[in-house]
Structure 1
Amino acid sequence: MTELYPVRRALISVSDKTGLVDFATALAGHGVALLSTGGTARALREAGLDVTDVSDVTGFPEMMDGRVKTLHPVVHGGLLALRDNDDHVASMEEHGIGAIDLVVVNLYPFEETVAKGADYAEVIENIDIGGPAMIRSAAKNHGFVNIVVDVEDYDVVLAEMGAHGGQTTYALRQRLAQTAYARTAAYDTAVSTWMAAQVSDTPRRRTFGGQLAQTLRYGENPHQAAAFYTDGSARPGVATATQHQGKALSYNNINDTDAAFELVSEFAGQGPACAIIKHANPCGVATGATLKEAYSRAFDCDRTSAFGGIIALNHELDEDTAREITGIFTEVVIAPGASDGAVRIFKEKKNLRLLTTDGLADASADGLAVKQVSGGFLVQDKDVGRIARDDLKVVTKRQPSEQEMSDMLFAWTVAKHVKSNAIIYVKDGATVGVGAGQMSRLDSSTIAATKAGRMAEDLGLSETTAKGSVVASDAFFPFADGLLAAAEAGATAVIQPGGSMRDNEVIAAADEAGLAMVFTGMRHFRH
């Protein structure tokens, strides 16, 4: 394989014209002949560059609204011909095919067109055909041809040409080819995923694509390599947030911050709310008259676990709340926005990361949840299930009070974001105990009650904060023991899906304990 190969002729056809003129001017300075199409050719001519239209080379005009312009043997022969193969060279000479040594293509903005909510016909028109074909041809022949699909690689190519007298190395061409194939794969993924949604079918083949956003120091543990990729979605969240200060986010930071923001986004359009997350589980969630109060109440659920946690807010971070948050060590704070005063206060804590998102995530928006397993991956709809008051069925003799009903709906919202088996104690719009990820529902119930009792001692209270609380269970109680543990801790009402073979026994136990209980008919397993 030829290590160094000269760039004599380039074909440039881009929708994103960032840096185009400077790059093309530099290529021309190396004596590279420029081929181009449509708007790209116009932009280069307006910059005073000498450009040959692809249509002049192929002998065919651009036609069918630009759908057909580069799909021609003169183009693809110039890309695919092996320069060290005598038969290929003879074919090029016989048919007047000139070699193309560099292709610069970025594709029609399909992802952006979908994101802006364009209609079906417009989306279809933004599916690029000629671009991916040229990219794949050039990438296949990377022994001789350079393929550039990202603006970020313009300077890399020019640096190599400058260092090697207008030539590039095989190593660079190989790396550019890999990037190119990943780009067309991600592009086809976006198209196929969109099409799957249009036909409302489970696709026979499913692909996922992403673009590198950050190389991470390591994964969950130091011995694991890791990186963060984005999928091009404009949905507010950790992937699209602005980081104002602090060191780069770690793998665990990103995972936990996402969990925190998804939870607090459930309270979009409502009063101030705060969620504090540790190891992807909430250790405190609360509402309040002010954001400061919401944070303080969430913090008072489990002050020990909150240390070194992630804080998510559903309103703009203000100075009072910022001052309160800086009272303990916190890894990340994420919010829709932050006042100038809050930003100034946080600057005193240089290791505290502050992220703003310019909005909350749409908690009701459809999407996919993906989990890798050995030999494949599981794909399911995101859990966007919600329960309204009218959906609840009271199954006990005692009817819940208005406050209990409100707290049960709050607890149910939180339960959706707690690892199964999940038990959540809530009082007056704030969690007072969270039991997560246990192998039995009884253990989760007991742990949550224990945390509530311990927190009451820390706060100097005479009785457990679980007294007078309500309890949410993410799935049904298979036995009455978990429910009775909650009653013993002081809970007065329970919200759960129902559906157990022993529902009647559980209802009877609730009646005997004087509890009010409602069924949702929906569960929220989270593994």
Structure 2
Amino acid sequence: MTADLVRVTRALISVSDKTGLVPFGQALAARGVEILSTGGSAQQLRDAGVPVTEVGDHTGFPEMMDGRVKTLHPRVHGGILARRDLESHQEAMTTHGITPIDLVVVNLYPFEATVARGAAFEDCVENIDIGGPAMIRSAAKNHGFVAVLTDPAEYEAVLTELESNDGATTLALRRRLAASAYARTAAYDSAISQWFAGQNDETFPARVTVAGSLRQTLRYGENPHQAAAFYVSGIDGRPGIATATQLQGKELSYNNLNDTDAAFELVAEFERPAVAIIKHANPCGVAEGESLSEAYARALECDPVSAFGGIIAVNRVLDAATAEQVAKLFAEVVIAPDADDEAKAFLAAKKNLRVLLTGAMPDPAAPGMTVRTVAGGFLFQTRDSGRISLPDLKVVTKRAPTAEELNDLLFAFRVAKHVKSNAIVYAKNGATVGVGAGQMSRVDSSRIAAWKSADAAKAAGRAEAGTIGSVVASDAFFPFADGLLAAADAGATAIIQPGGSMRDAEVIAAADERGLAMVMTGMRHFRH
């Protein structure tokens, strides 16, 4: 029968991450716990004056094969797996000279870190731990009698229990540690399997696992009645919200994280200084400029009403001039690769504003994977890293776009890639002037974007809407000419769209009739 309290008399310590090892070992030794250890762990403890028994001395079998074989031995696993409440197990221990191990402290070879630094295939394979996961799983299975630690962050909880319970651990703690241990080995195996699949050029292997580490328990999800948490995978090291340091501001919410990710991925599309202002995962203003401050001012002009309470993303080190402008707007989050000291000082006055620095920009063309849940399963797809440049464009109308129109068409199409379908984006001089997102019909997106542009112009005291003389981008083909005609009515002079509709000829004829220039990309960017 499982006991609630189990006194720790013998511990096995074999760790790759030696953070906190010495004080933990010293605390165990002070309680009279016998410590078995291996390799570098044993040496570090011994150097600190902690009495240690080498595992090889304990098993009577030397460490061999460059350390590949050292703990895979019955005197180790028997001591971990033996049930203390079964007479047959006790008899087997006596017969074979096996002594019980009450505490297993193991963290694994740094496989994930080895892959992340771009090590060679052979180095990655050598950093696949075998004995470690075996001991962890053995101890977790026998948690009725054995406590297992896989992270230095767990040391304090165990020492506190030993102090409170005269050197014993409780069943409740052992169960929590066992759950943590299985999660760790599962994540470890997940990282290995994903890496191997990549090495074998398997985009979608027969089995796939999703693993992450808890970064933050959130106050709630999209709505207050939903629970939520933020997990980080640490697989591809892509700069973004998972790598960001929060300098200031309130705790990030579920919606903050989702919208901030959308904003940062969008602004990464541009080489020139650029700013994206996002609301509900859709852009309400995006612009390039000679400087960030210029880009910010032009992005804000697109839809200043929707920008209130939005997310601001920049693709350069945030400077003082831009920060001073940003501080005048109520925003939820500012995200940048970095910020200078003056910019930080300006934003510090806005104590509730969340400021995130990522250290770098993500590569919009880099491969990767996205995942979404559906009832009973997952949808995996490769990241939309498709990009269109001038040579990819096919002019399909009698009038070809001007050089200025071509630049704006490419700009608008990059923005449209990050707008929820059906997406329509009007742009002029490297800035959005109207955005229509998430409508059931493309013509409605065209009209809504034009309507919002007219409202913004009126509020700013401008004589005409920004869509006059603009270009327009559509994330997918026009199924009918009505969406294109709505854009022409709004003042657009050139169109970029993927093409591929059964009615392409009808749409092209309508563009020619209005004197519009139109190019097709052959690539669509649905975003649902």
TM beyond 0.5: yes
In the other structure, the counterpart of 1:218 is 220
Partner SS for 1:154: helix
In 1, the alpha carbon distance for the partners of 2:517 and 2:15 equals: 64
Letter in 2 for 1:483: L
In the other structure, the counterpart of 2:389 is 388
Partner SS for 1:227: strand
Deviation at 1:453, TM superposition (A): 0.8
In the other structure, the counterpart of 2:334 is 333
- Give 4+ residue runs of structure 1 displaced > 4 Å after superposition: none
Q: After the TM superposition, which residues 116-195 of structure 1 pair with which residues of structure 2 at under 5 Å, given as runs? A: 116-195=117-196
In 1, the alpha carbon distance for the partners of 2:477 and 2:62 equals: 67
Partner SS for 2:214: strand
Q: Are 2:271 and 1:251 equivalent residues in the alignment?
A: no
In 1, the alpha carbon distance for the partners of 2:119 and 2:20 equals: 27
Q: Are 2:424 and 1:423 equivalent residues in the alignment?
A: yes
Q: Are 2:397 and 1:402 equivalent residues in the alignment?
A: no
In 2, the alpha carbon distance for the partners of 1:460 and 1:356 equals: 36
In 2, the alpha carbon distance for the partners of 1:287 and 1:238 equals: 22
Deviation at 1:487, TM superposition (A): 0.5
Partner SS for 2:378: strand
In the other structure, the counterpart of 1:444 is 445
Cα-to-partner distance string for 1:80-123 (whole Å, 9 max, x where unaligned): 11011100111011111111111111111111111111111111
Aligned residues: 525
Q: After the TM superposition, which residues 63-462 of structure 1 pair with which residues of structure 2 at under 5 Å, given as runs? A: 63-201=64-202, 202-233=204-235, 234-267=237-270, 270-462=271-463
Letter in 2 for 1:245: Q
Cα-to-partner distance string for 1:37-83 (whole Å, 9 max, x where unaligned): 11111111111111111111222211111111111111111111101
In 1, the alpha carbon distance for the partners of 2:362 and 2:30 equals: 48
Cα-to-partner distance string for 1:147-181 (whole Å, 9 max, x where unaligned): 10111110000000000000011000000000000
Partner SS for 1:191: helix
Moved more, 54-63 or 15-24: 54-63
In 2, the alpha carbon distance for the partners of 1:6 and 1:364 equals: 56
Cα-to-partner distance string for 1:267-324 (whole Å, 9 max, x where unaligned): 2xx2210000101111110011111110111111100110000000011111111111
Partner SS for 1:266: coil
Deviation at 1:345, TM superposition (A): 1.0
In 1, the alpha carbon distance for the partners of 2:457 and 2:428 equals: 13
Letter in 2 for 1:127: I
Letter in 2 for 1:38: G
Letter in 2 for 1:244: L
Q: Are 2:491 and 1:482 equivalent residues in the alignment?
A: no
Partner SS for 2:268: helix
Letter in 2 for 1:226: A
In the other structure, the counterpart of 1:510 is 511
In 2, the alpha carbon distance for the partners of 1:97 and 1:370 equals: 47
Cα-to-partner distance string for 1:394-451 (whole Å, 9 max, x where unaligned): 1111000001100011111111111111110010000011111111111111111111
Letter in 1 for 2:43: R
Letter in 1 for 2:218: L
Letter in 2 for 1:217: R
Partner SS for 1:174: helix
In 2, the alpha carbon distance for the partners of 1:526 and 1:68 equals: 51
Moved more, 305-314 or 228-237: 228-237
5+ long unaligned stretches in structure 2: none
Cα-to-partner distance string for 1:477-527 (whole Å, 9 max, x where unaligned): 111110110011000111111111111111111111111111111111111
In 1, the alpha carbon distance for the partners of 2:420 and 2:60 equals: 64
Letter in 2 for 1:168: T
Name the TM-score, length of structure 1 as normaliser.
0.99
Deviation at 1:463, TM superposition (A): 1.0
Partner SS for 2:262: helix
Partner SS for 1:2: coil
In 2, the alpha carbon distance for the partners of 1:277 and 1:27 equals: 53
Name the TM-score, length of structure 2 as normaliser.
0.98
Partner SS for 1:472: strand
Letter in 2 for 1:241: A
In 2, the alpha carbon distance for the partners of 1:458 and 1:30 equals: 74
In 2, the alpha carbon distance for the partners of 1:428 and 1:31 equals: 75
In 2, the alpha carbon distance for the partners of 1:423 and 1:338 equals: 32
Partner SS for 1:229: strand
In 1, the alpha carbon distance for the partners of 2:436 and 2:22 equals: 59
Deviation at 1:366, TM superposition (A): 1.2
Deviation at 1:240, TM superposition (A): 1.0
In 2, the alpha carbon distance for the partners of 1:433 and 1:69 equals: 66
In 2, the alpha carbon distance for the partners of 1:299 and 1:198 equals: 45
Partner SS for 2:104: strand
In the other structure, the counterpart of 2:36 is 35
